[in-house]
Amino acid sequence: MDIRQVAKQARVSTATVSRVINASAPVSEKTTERVRRAIIKLDFYPNSHARTLGSGKSRIYGLIISDITNPFFPELVKSFENIAVQHGQEVIVANTDYNVDRMELCIRRMIERKVDCVAIMTTEMEPSLADMLNQRRIPVVSLDTGTVGKTSSNIEVDYKGGIEKAVEHLVGLGHTRISFISSYLNNLKSTQMRSDAFLDVMRRNGLSIASSLVHTERESAEGGRSAMDQLLQMKSPPTAVIGVNDVTAIGMLEAIRHAGLRVPEDFSIIGYDDIAISAFMNPPLTTVHIHREELAKCAFNALYSVSQCGGSGRTYKIDTALIVRESTAAPRQNDELTPRQ
Amino acid sequence: MDIRQVAKQARVSTATVSRVINASAPVSEKTTERVRRAIIKLDFYPNSHARTLGSGKSRIYGLIISDITNPFFPELVKSFENIAVQHGQEVIVANTDYNVDRMELCIRRMIERKVDCVAIMTTEMEPSLADMLNQRRIPVVSLDTGTVGKTSSNIEVDYKGGIEKAVEHLVGLGHTRISFISSYLNNLKSTQMRSDAFLDVMRRNGLSIASSLVHTERESAEGGRSAMDQLLQMKSPPTAVIGVNDVTAIGMLEAIRHAGLRVPEDFSIIGYDDIAISAFMNPPLTTVHIHREELAKCAFNALYSVSQCGGSGRTYKIDTALIVRESTAAPRQNDELTPRQ
DNA sequence: ATGAAAGCGCTAACAC
DNA sequence: GTGTTAGCGCTTTCAT
């Protein structure tokens, strides 16, 4: 079943069929109708590969993320897809699994599939990889990494501002012994930036940062749990702990619960990202919000403007906000960490 | 940059280049090496659309899910992709948003993209839609819905067994007033099957099911929360509640916490799916486990065996298991639902 | 083992 | 407004 059969059925040329499908040139009312009917009658679906080959553009946007299993990403993917569909584009998504080698594979796939643009929403990035895209004049937008150029844009998330607000919230509550649980994945720029910001803000507030940075083995709830377990072993544990992301913070919550201690009475906990489930934790998690929908929109627009409107690459900024829920309170008065019952 | 340039650089024909890329026919050691070098030197990436058009097969598997934002799916997607990649196939995923109309769009996309097979892992399905695929001889595997035929397989998840185990666990604990919170999305067969099974098992255990089935407006944590709020208004609320899935159960947990009541002391709660986060709830959620990885494997194999090995469609079964954690216990002794503090 | 050439299904010039 | 036709980049007979 191809366009020729439709053409025959409608008694027109293949070009005309193509015209009505793509509305790429005026076709008379009558012919259009005949073609439409033929398409329906024959149950014709145009072959997108042939279209891509014929026209030179795939109408596909590539989206590279770290791991669809990390709750931060599904919402991002969904928003990005929605916007893309509204603009008549499709999207294919690829996972790097936080792995630079797999990033190369992802980019290869994007090139082979002839995507029109690609959004790299991960931070495990070799700059050289973006070059592969640039050389082929494929517009790119990246997160916190990557340079701005003719066809490449960069989105800067205000990680630092988020950390600042979190630490200051804690300081305002009276905390002075504050820890930060990061992940071993420190080649991730987003993680690195959060850690650095934490150190910086602590310093600025004149707070000691001795042993206040703990690295988990994996960026996950498990990681948060085991890191918090470590903290619990200390002679004089912190009174507040910030997690590098919500999933980590959720693991921390579990470690504390398991030790028979309470949040926020015994520990104040803050997460980062504001994933949907965080509001449903017990207690609801105070966290730094990154607006995923806005991020997705921003990424798409960055791409669309250079791809369709011939714009040039530029820098975009995304804000963060502290969402105060119930996992933070004034610090415990003494260090008698007595498990409940 | 196309295969012809590579051919020229390696001083061979395009056919030979194609042969070394695809290992589709023997090529001498020497020539192979020359071609390899040329490919690397020119940084050549084959155009997958041209490949698809030329060969007639896309090496793409389609995967249709309801909503990537529902934590049940990301793990499924990831597993499915991993297996597919191991078999040299790619996958494109499409979301229906629990909507039959969008399902049609998804299937259209799959056909236009000339996928080799499609896994329909949602249950909001018009049988007629699967026919579109069948007519085109595209192998299909579906979940609990769909018929088995030459090229179409069906996976039956033992929802009922899961509900049985859940109810019996509760009955064993001494509960008699048990409710089930379902969702308004009752056109979903998976939801329907869980509700039906619940009613059935309750009856068989001689338990009253008066007002024990509550329908939420949305299949989400919000839905679970508002449904549980309703239950909390009753003069004599149930002592145990089963959620149609974990996300719903998590919402229920929050409603109870917010009312100043406790799980499992005041209410026993059971979820369904066993999403990763459930083990990190406070308290950790007792739930019915569906093995996502096995499900993904099963779906892929069902497809692969008919697509590559000329097998015929058949029925597969996936078990469920009750994971007892800390959200279930013996029922409260009296109905004095007194908020803590 | 290798090359020549005919498609694959569509789009886009270019004619009329 | 519509038709003709030459590609798009690859695969795949069919020769050799």
pLDDT in tens, A263-312: 999 999 999 999 999 999 999 999 999 999 999 999 999 999 999 888 89
Asked if B68 lies within 8 A of A78 by C-beta distance, the reply is: yes
Of A67, A251, A283, the CB nearest to B280: A251
Pairing of strands A286-290, A268-273: parallel
Kindly list the residues from chain A whose CB atom is less than 8 angstroms away from the CB atom of residue B284.
254
For residue B62 the two structure tokens come to 């389609």
Residue whose structure tokens are 């059925």: A9
Kindly list the residues from chain A whose CB atom is less than 8 angstroms away from the CB atom of residue B225.
280
DSSP state of A325: -
Of A47, A53, A68, the CB nearest to B112: A47
> What's the pLDDT at B44?
97
Residue whose structure tokens are 């926020």: A264
> What's the pLDDT at B16?
97
Asked if A46 lies within 8 A of B112 by C-beta distance, the reply is: yes
Strand partners, A90: A60
Instruction: Return positions of chain D under 7 A from a protein CB.
Output: 1-5, 7-13
The runs of H, that is alpha helices, within chain A are 3-10, 14-22, 29-42, 48-55, 72-86, 100-112, 127-135, 159-173, 189-204, 221-233, 246-258, 292-307
Q: Is the dihedral of CA B329, B333, B338, B341 positive or negative?
A: negative
> Phi, psi at residue B295, to the nearest 5°?
-60, -45
Search chain A and give the residue with CA nearest B69: A74
> What's the pLDDT at B259?
96
Of the pLDDT bands very low, low, confident and very high (cuts 50, 70, 90), residue A52 is very high
Q: Is the pLDDT of residue A4 over 70?
A: yes
Alpha-carbon distance A200 to nearest alpha carbon in chain B (angstroms): 31
Q: How far is CA B319 from CA A293, B201, B324, in A?
A: 37, 18, 16
Q: Is the dihedral of CA B272, B276, B281, B283 positive or negative?
A: positive
Asked if A68 lies within 8 A of B52 by C-beta distance, the reply is: no
Rounded CA separation B117/B107 (Å) = 11
Q: Is the dihedral of CA B287, B290, B291, B293 positive or negative?
A: negative
Kindly list the residues from chain A whose CB atom is less than 8 angstroms away from the CB atom of residue B221.
276-277, 280
Rounded CA separation A163/A167 (Å) = 6
> What's the pLDDT at A238?
94
Pairing of strands B286-290, B320-323: antiparallel
Which residue gives the smallest C-alpha to C1' distance to C9? A50
Are B128 and B105 in contact by the 8 Å Cβ rule? The answer is no
> What's the pLDDT at B127?
76
Asked if A257 lies within 8 A of B282 by C-beta distance, the reply is: yes
The helix/strand/coil state of B23 is coil
Span A199-228, average pLDDT:
83
Which residue gives the smallest C-alpha to C1' distance to D13? B15
Kindly list the residues from chain A whose CB atom is less than 8 angstroms away from the CB atom of residue B98.
none
Q: Among residues B241, B266, B254, which one has the least CA distance to residue B338? A: B266
Asked if B114 lies within 8 A of A257 by C-beta distance, the reply is: no
DSSP state of A278: G
> What's the pLDDT at A340?
63
Pairing of strands A320-323, A286-290: antiparallel
Torsion angle of the four alpha carbons A127, A131, A134, A140, in this order, in degrees rounded to the nearest 10: -30
Search chain B and give the residue with CA nearest A263: B282
| Cis upstream peptide for A283 (omega within 30°) | yes
Asked if A75 lies within 8 A of B69 by C-beta distance, the reply is: yes
Which residue gives the smallest C-alpha to C1' distance to D9? B50
Alpha-carbon distance A213 to nearest alpha carbon in chain B (angstroms): 23
Model pLDDT for residues A167-181, shown as the tens digit of each residue: 999 999 999 999 999
Span A309-332, average pLDDT:
95
Asked if B48 lies within 8 A of A254 by C-beta distance, the reply is: no
Look at phi and psi of residue A208 and say left if phi exceeds 0, alpha if psi is from -120 to 50, else beta: beta
Asked if A53 lies within 8 A of B50 by C-beta distance, the reply is: yes
- The residue count of chain B comes to 341
Footprint of strand D on the protein (CB under 7 A): A 11-16, 19, 25-28, 30-32, 50, 53-54, 56; B 2-4, 14-15, 17-19, 21-22, 24-25, 44, 46-47, 50-51, 53-56
Asked if B49 lies within 8 A of A45 by C-beta distance, the reply is: no
Are A223 and A250 in contact by the 8 Å Cβ rule? The answer is no
> Phi, psi at residue A220, to the nearest 5°?
-165, 175
> What's the pLDDT at B305?
94
> What's the pLDDT at B183?
80
Of the pLDDT bands very low, low, confident and very high (cuts 50, 70, 90), residue A100 is confident
Rounded CA separation A226/B239 (Å) = 34
Alpha-carbon distance B254 to nearest alpha carbon in chain A (angstroms): 6
Kindly list the residues from chain A whose CB atom is less than 8 angstroms away from the CB atom of residue B56.
none
Of B52, B58, B111, the CB nearest to A45: B111
Q: Which residue has the higher pLDDT, A268 or A194?
A: A268
Q: Is the pLDDT of residue A319 over 60?
A: yes
Search chain A and give the residue with CA nearest B73: A69
Which nucleotide in the DNA or RNA is closest to residue B51, CA to C1'?
Answer: D10
Q: Among residues A279, A291, A307, A338, which one has the least CA distance to residue A61? A: A307
Q: Which residue has the higher pLDDT, A193 or A299?
A: A299
> What's the pLDDT at A337?
73
Which residue gives the smallest C-alpha to C1' distance to D1? A27
Burial of A120 (0-12, 13-18, 19+ CB in 10 A): buried
Q: Is the pLDDT of residue A128 over 90?
A: no
Please, which residues have CB within 8 angstroms of residue A315's CB and are 6 or more apart in sequence? A148, A153, A154, A155, A156
Are B224 and B200 in contact by the 8 Å Cβ rule? The answer is no
pTM: 0.93
Kindly list the residues from chain B whose CB atom is less than 8 angstroms away from the CB atom of residue A251.
280
Asked if A95 lies within 8 A of B74 by C-beta distance, the reply is: no
Q: Is the pLDDT of residue A186 over 60?
A: no
Report percent pLDDT > 90 for chain A: 80
Strand partners, A322: A288
Kindly list the residues from chain A whose CB atom is less than 8 angstroms away from the CB atom of residue B109.
90
Q: Is the pLDDT of residue A335 over 80?
A: no
Amino acid (1-letter code) at residue B192 = Q
Per-residue pLDDT of chain B (341 residues; tens, 9 = 90+): 999 999 999 999 999 999 999 999 999 999 999 999 999 999 999 999 999 999 999 999 999 999 999 999 999 999 999 999 999 999 999 999 988 889 999 999 999 999 999 999 987 777 788 889 999 999 999 998 778 999 999 999 999 999 999 999 999 999 999 999 988 665 677 788 888 899 999 999 999 876 577 777 776 899 999 999 999 999 889 999 999 999 999 999 999 999 999 999 999 999 999 999 999 999 999 999 999 999 999 999 999 999 988 889 999 999 999 999 999 999 998 766 777 65
The helix/strand/coil state of B174 is coil
Of B67, B253, B277, the CB nearest to A250: B277
Kindly list the residues from chain B whose CB atom is less than 8 angstroms away from the CB atom of residue A71.
71, 74, 277
Rounded CA separation A194/A182 (Å) = 8
* Distance of A15 CA from C12 C1′ (whole Å): 9
The residue among A1, A21, A45, A219 with the most chain B CBs within 10 A of its CB, best to mutate, is A45
Query: Is strand C within 7 Å of residue B16 (CB)?
Result: yes
Alpha-carbon distance B321 to nearest alpha carbon in chain A (angstroms): 22
Search chain B and give the residue with CA nearest A275: B69
Burial of B208 (0-12, 13-18, 19+ CB in 10 A): exposed
Asked if B276 lies within 8 A of A221 by C-beta distance, the reply is: yes
Q: How far is CA A196 from the centre of its chain?
A: 20
Which residue gives the smallest C-alpha to C1' distance to D2? A16
Strand partners, B105: none
